[in-house]
A and B are shown apart, each in its own frame.
Chain A
Amino acid sequence: MSNFTKEDVQYFADFARLALTEEEKAAYAEQLQQMVELTAKLKDVNTEGVAPMTHPLHRVNVLREDKPADLLDREEMLKNVPEHEDGMIQVPNTF
């Protein structure tokens, strides 16, 4: 990408579900441009034949017994839900 524009910021903000003001878009265009330039240096590294490292710890098939347990209380958890009714989470009309 050559230069990060406000439209580019909007494009990624849509994926990230972030509403941004025009001023914010202009500020992030500049900051993201700097990030893009900074991280372009990674492309200088020869990584032919190198497998990407996704994690520092190598544990596989970490399983435990599938036993039901009452760990969390439903009423307690609902206290953190911004809006709810009859035990259901409420959202604005979606249709």
Chain B
Amino acid sequence: MSLMKKSVIELQSLIQNKEVSVKELTEAALAQTESVEEEVQAFITVTKEEALTRAEELDNADSKEGALFGIPAGIKDNIVTKDITTTCASKMLENFVPVYDATVVTKLNEAGAVSLGKLNLDEFAMGSTTETSAMKQTRNPWNTAKVPGGSSGGSAAAVAANEVAFALGTDTGGSVRQPAAFCGIVGMKPTYGRVSRLGLVAFASSFDQIGPMTKTVADNALVLQTIAGEDRYDTTSATEEVPNYVAQLEGNLKGLKIAMPKEFFGEGLDPQVKEKVEEAIKQLEALGATVDEVSIPHVVYGAEMYAVIAYAEASSNLARYDGIHFGYRSPNAKNLDEVYTMSRAEAFGPEVKKRILFGTYALSAEHHDPLFVQAQKVRARMTEDVQNVLNEYDIIVGPSAASVAYDFKAQADPARSRMDDILATPANLAGIPALSVPCGFVDGLPVGLQLMGKHFDELTLYQVAHAYEQTTKFYEQQPQLAGGANA
């Protein structure tokens, strides 16, 4: 089996046993990237020289300490990296070079990871196909005529195409889980606060979380335990201890109580996706779990709550791009007001502008209470619904997305989009952890099973997903790309 097809955990043992040097592995990753990038277009910036220098440093180091020592990684380009351009796939930050590393990047560095560069996304993470990127169009490695999902489409595609052994994505309303599902990999949105957001360019601050995207569940657990934990520079990071997930992966599903909300299987869900997810749930039953159908009534307002609250938070967060302190400044502006209005007009794309405008509307005096505060109250009711279910059950299951990956520039199907939001947003609204694990294929495209858990109980999600993965081994199937395959 070629090197880059291996999991992080397999690569880790090859490095530790000196069967492969960090330089060899880094070169293999760069070679694979060079051979498939023309088709996949996952990277905004490949930091080849930096990666090779780093690999040499690690090979010359006295010890090979570090959970991710020598492992090739990719970082979504809305996570800041010192001295390496961080664009958010926006013309606004096209030339922005951060002066510090995000906490997650510092932690990856301390753990010995080797970054290959920065991965494409929807502009400012606003979208679910990676098509709103101002930089390039990332393609799904399983079928390059299809979208990779989004907003972490570059991260998902790079992992699926074996360009990197793992990647970091970010999830505000499904942006790790849905592209993970579309590209046939494992994606975790941790509990809100589990991972520091210092250095994550803010979109909707009460939703955003950074999460690992990997080929296997064990890899995912390893990356999460490396990046998680309290950060004194992020007051919204949680103080809860970070467990050793990897050491406790082998769980017994006997007696596990699973809730299956009927709202997750309603109109808009592709019937073939539904079938695959139902098969997966039967598999969990076969492993010893009990499954009950439940109702989480207010999740049906997922799309509406998300549109109001996330866009409102975005309109506030994106006010910082004023054309003055950093980022794009319009060369056509003749006075201060034009510096603001024209810089923003020229550098933000249409989706970002739409969200800013609607967020501004939702926060305006007239609409603030009846719309914005009302959405926050519905959020409270939905969270209570979710808590009630999680008081009785260990996890909640459903599809990760309403369909498999679709064509570029596909006309949005309103029922499907609505179901996508019903599936994606509850975890962000309630702040609970949620994971997508591959559960089969429809027309040669991967389907994702979503597991949601109690606050700070990522461990149960990993145990269930790991047990399921061991019986199905969908990760053994990999996409066939014309340029790649032989890294």
Contacts and interface: CB of A to CB of B under 8 A. Distances in A.
Interface of A: 9, 12-13, 15-20, 24, 27-28, 31-32, 35-36, 38-39, 41-43, 45, 47, 50-57, 59, 62, 64, 71-73, 76-77, 79-83, 89, 91-94
Interface stretch (B50-58, B61-69, B287-295, B299-307): B299-307
Given A16-B360, A56-B192, A51 B301 contact: no
B329 A83 contact: yes
Contacts of A52: 373, 376-377, 379-380
A50 B327 CA distance: 41
Interface residues of B, number: 67
B357 A91 contact: no
B269 to A, nearest CB: 19
Interface string B371-409: 101111111110100000000000000000000000000
A64 to B, nearest CB: 5
A18 B308 CA distance: 19
Given A18-B356, A35-B307, 15 more contacts: A15-B360, A15-B364, A16-B315, A17-B341, A39-B362, A42-B378, A52-B373, A53-B379, A54-B206, A54-B376, A80-B99, A80-B325, A82-B327, A92-B336, A94-B336
A19 B344 CA distance: 7
A81 B327 CA distance: 7
A48 to B, nearest CB: 9
Contacts of A93: 335
A82 B324 contact: yes
Interface stretch (B230-238, B466-474, B479-487): B230-238
Contacts of A50: 377, 380-381
Interface of B: 96-97, 99-100, 192-193, 206, 232, 235-236, 238-239, 298, 301, 303-305, 307-308, 315, 319, 322-329, 333-342, 344-345, 348, 350, 353-354, 356-358, 360-362, 364, 370-371, 373-381, 383, 429-431
B301 A57 contact: no
B415 to A, nearest CB: 13
A72 B342 contact: no
A92 B335 contact: yes
Nearest to A31: B354
A12 B344 CA distance: 14
A7 B159 CA distance: 46
Nearest to A14: B341
Given A18-B356, A56-B430, A39 B375 contact: yes
